Chain A
Amino acid sequence: DAGITQSPRYKITETGRQVTLMCHQTWSHSYMFWYRQDLGHGLRLIYYSAAADITDKGEVPDGYVVSRSKTENFPLTLESATRSQTSVYFCADSLAGPSDTQYFGPGTRLTVL
């Protein structure tokens, strides 16, 4: 039972580069979420998806792009990375939406130099 996985676990990149963080779930849950976690801010929602091909903005979407062509995958792309995007990124999923239990992946620690 793999659950929800993220890759890479650690990434160092340079300002201006494009970076894609991967998220994969094995449960076929409808909803998927991307959060970032920063000291002083807690977890903040970047984007979410209610189903394949349905995505919507969260609290802090600027500078990020998502897609969901398959139910099990929800990649997050930083089109031109900035230092302010240095953070720990968590993917989560839930069967029926935010009011249902959200299961989190192990996180990706991204450093933008």
Chain B
Amino acid sequence: EDQVTQSPEALRLQEGESSSLNCSYTVSGLRGLFWYRQDPGKGPEFLFTLYSAGEEKEKERLKATLTKKESFLHITAPKPEDSATYLCAVQLIQGAQKLVFGQGTRLTINP
């Protein structure tokens, strides 16, 4: 069964304390991996798409990386406004019309 697992479920950091969120997947064939940010009471907001192992993408304090089994979202020197739930999703080669989402990591950055 295709599965996407995110860890940890929740993470509290102090402002400026760098860390990484993990998204591991066991799927039959990966077409792409997506990262989204979701603020409370709002819809997910697109961050990155990664397509092949070794690929990296950066945006401000966030960097996403991809291997054959997992993806990491590295957050460097986070600020309180980076607090949100971060979702990863995979698009499969078969059944490519859907994204399989992980359950998310709830990130809190304390000032």
Contacts and interface: CB of A to CB of B under 8 A. Distances in A.
A106 B103 CA distance: 18
Interface residues of B, number: 23
Interface in A65-113: 90, 92, 97-99, 101-107
Interface in A38-65: 40-45, 48, 50, 56, 58-59
B62 to A, nearest CB: 16
A56 B43 CA distance: 22
A92 B32 contact: no
B45 A98 contact: no
Contacts, number: 55
Nearest to A94: B46
B89 interface: yes
A102 B99 CA distance: 10
Nearest to A59: B98
Interface of A: 40-45, 48, 50, 56, 58-59, 90, 92, 97-99, 101-107
Given A98-B91, A98-B97, A106-B42, 10 more contacts: A42-B4, A42-B102, A48-B98, A56-B97, A58-B98, A101-B49, A102-B34, A102-B46, A103-B46, A104-B45
